[in-house]
Structure 1
Amino acid sequence: MVGGNEIKRTKEYKYLGIWLDDKGCEKTKHERIARANQWVGRLGSVARCRANKYEVVRGLWKGVAVPSIMYGLETMVWSRKELDRLEVTQNKAGRIALGANRYVAVEAIRGDMGWSTFRERIAKAGLRYRARLQRMDDSKWASKVWDWNMYGKWMKDSVKVERWTGELGMFVTGVMRHGSMAVCKKEINRRVEEKGKEEWLRGMSEKSTLEWYRRKDQPRYERFL
């Protein structure tokens, strides 16, 4: 009952682009993974007709594809296997842009494309959304649902993300509660990016084929003339 009116039962419901059913958001996750693969196919077709594949593919992937894939993902719990499927599609897009074959290390692909992993993007978005929830008016539905399911899977996953970022812990939790949203967003982005860079460097150190490439200090956009 909402406002004295009975809500009709339905097998599934779509709200702001997110499908909800008795399995949670599984349908939406499958749709977004499929959408990522569709974008790789489109970029492959576009790249064949362009002299500068790097600029075109990088621009379309980062500016159009990623936002369409990422919309609302911070409200879901993603398994490592599901995130890996998104990472594979992004690496395929990077290989198209660079003209790299399947033997080129993913650290080199990411290093020259200069983009974040989906794990980093979802970690940032999830923590920022949690900060919003903690400050949200109690009358809002999102706040009510979060309060009702405070110890559910999503919150447990958010805590895991904090632990993954290392020193983030209670410091950023405090920023979430007491600092401004601008400060909170900046701190979350900085800490997640640091962790992403740390994992990228560790990945390179474990591959002998990237010995020369290790001179690069961080993933960044390159100008290939």
Structure 2
Amino acid sequence: YRYLGVTLQEGPQYLKQHERNTLKSSNIRRGHLWNMAKYSYNPYTLARALWKSVAVPAVTYANDAVVFQQTTLKTLHRHQVEIGSWALGGNGATANLAVTGEMAWSTFKQRDARAKLGYLGCLIHMPDEAYTKRTFHYVRYRSSRTNWSNTIARLDSVYSKGTRRHEATLEKGWFKAVTEEVNAIELEAWRQAVRKKQSLQSIYALHKSELSPCTHYRGDHKITLLFQARVGALMTNCRRAQLFGDTDTACPLCGQSSEDVLHVLLWCPALDHCRPPWATSEERIPEMLGFGEGAHGSLATKRILVEWERLRVIANQ
């Protein structure tokens, strides 16, 4: 039966049908939102806004009290990464960590932790005569182990290092502390994972330290090439060799060096006619790829990448 928007059933897996409904809802919204966004003036901005404002509230409904299996949270995150990759123009070589960083989205694991630890603060600061708090105390002091209490114990151990949320005197202060602490821990985990990812080590990990949206993205093909170059997913011969192992790494345009992103943007003589005169060293790479405040070199980079793609098609004919 359905109670307050949550589908319940008999048996130990009483939320199984609710999880199925949530995954179905996520999958449907993923398709609908992308169909709306891809024909808009700015697929990146619209897809990002619609997913955050429409899909996420729907699939995280009652997230503070309902315990999903880890496989369900992973599937929801996969749906999120897929629509983010579509909006950015990613390919099969695009790292999920890069999509998360460019879309500036929290993971569902992060949202789940904030919701449940925040609700724990709500229970702690609730008046003692409230029925919900009386039930909470009964379960707690009787040492009854429920899915929710087990999850809270696990989350509290993960996100308790250096915590100051127990010093809060009001529910609002508790929730603010939980949000800041969970976000800080997950941000550091994301940074460490980015540094370990082979495709992100050389450029992205050095210049992207925060989860933040990029103002350069508009959803056209030029932006797709720029995004792929930023995150190490541009299908140069060096990248193909890493993925498939049987590709010659020499540049098909000049034949002088291994073809990677740095070679395409800075050194390939076949692209000198569209390369700006200031693009002469690797110190210019952050500016060319749009990292940092006030970076304007991405316009020149898009011209280079479009010309590189055109000449590559001609060279491979």
Query: Is 2:101 the partner of 1:111?
Result: yes
Q: Which runs of 5+ in 1 are unaligned?
A: 1-11
**Distance in 1 (alpha carbons) for counterparts of 2:138 and 2:92:** 47
Select which of 143, 148, 151 maps to 1:157: 151
Count of residues in correspondence between the two structures: 209
- Write the deviation string for residues 5-49 of structure 1: whole angstroms up to 9, x where unpaired: xxxxxxx3x222112222332222221121111111112211331
- Distance in 2, matches of 1:168 and 1:123, equals 16
User: Match of 2:123?
Assistant: 133
CA 1:17–1:141 in 2, change beyond 3 Å: closer, same or farther? farther
Instruction: Tell me the alpha carbon deviations over residues 24-76 of structure 1, each in whole angstroms, 9 at most, x when there is no partner.
Output: 32222221121111111112211331131001100100111111111101212
* Amino acid corresponding to residue 131 of structure 1 in structure 2: G
1:141–1:38 Cα change, 3 Å: farther
Greater relative CO, 1 or 2 (CA 8 Å, sep 6+): 1
Name the stretch that deviates more: 196-205 or 145-154. 145-154
| Residue 213 (structure 1) aligns with | 204
The aligned amino acid for 1:164 is V
Assess if the C-alpha contact under 8 Å between 1:47 and 1:96 holds in 2: no
In structure 1, C-alpha distance between the alignment counterparts of 2:162 and 2:83, rounded to whole Å: 31
Identity of aligned residues (%): 25
Match of 1:73 in 2: 63
SS in 2 for 1:46: helix
Amino acid at match of 2:210: Q
Amino acid at match of 2:50: L
* 2:35 pairs with 1:45: yes
The answer as to whether partners of 2:102 and 2:213 remain within 8 angstroms in 1 is yes
Q: Which residue of 2 aligns with 1:19?
A: 7
Please say which structure displays the higher CA radius of gyration: 2
Q: Which runs of 5+ in 2 are unaligned?
A: 218-317
Q: Deviations over 1:138-158 (max 9, x none)?
A: 443433433333342211211
1: CA distance between counterparts of 2:49 and 2:171? 28
Contact map agreement 2:77 2:107 (CA 8 A) in 1: yes
CA distance in 1, matches of 2:126, 2:170: 13
Q: Structure 1's 146 and 25: CA in aligned 2 closer, same or farther, altered over 3 A? A: farther
- CA contact under 8 A between 2:38 and 2:87: conserved in structure 1? no
Over the aligned positions, Cα root-mean-square deviation in angstroms equals 1.8
Aligned to 2:298: none
Q: Aligned partners of 1:168 and 1:130: how far apart in 2?
A: 18
Q: Structure 2 vs 1, CA of residues 138 and 26 (structure 1 numbering), >3 Å: closer, same or farther?
A: farther
Contact persistence 2:30–2:55 (CA under 8 A): no
Q: Which amino acid aligns with 2:161?
A: E
1:186 alignment counterpart: 176
- Are 1:201 and 2:191 counterparts? yes
Map of 1:32 onto structure 2: 22
Once the two structures are superposed, residues 97-132 of structure 1 have per-residue CA deviations (whole angstroms, 9 ceiling, x without a partner) of 112123210110011001100111110011111111
2:268 aligned residue: none
Q: Which residue does 1:84 correspond to in 2?
A: 74
TM-score by length of 1: 0.85
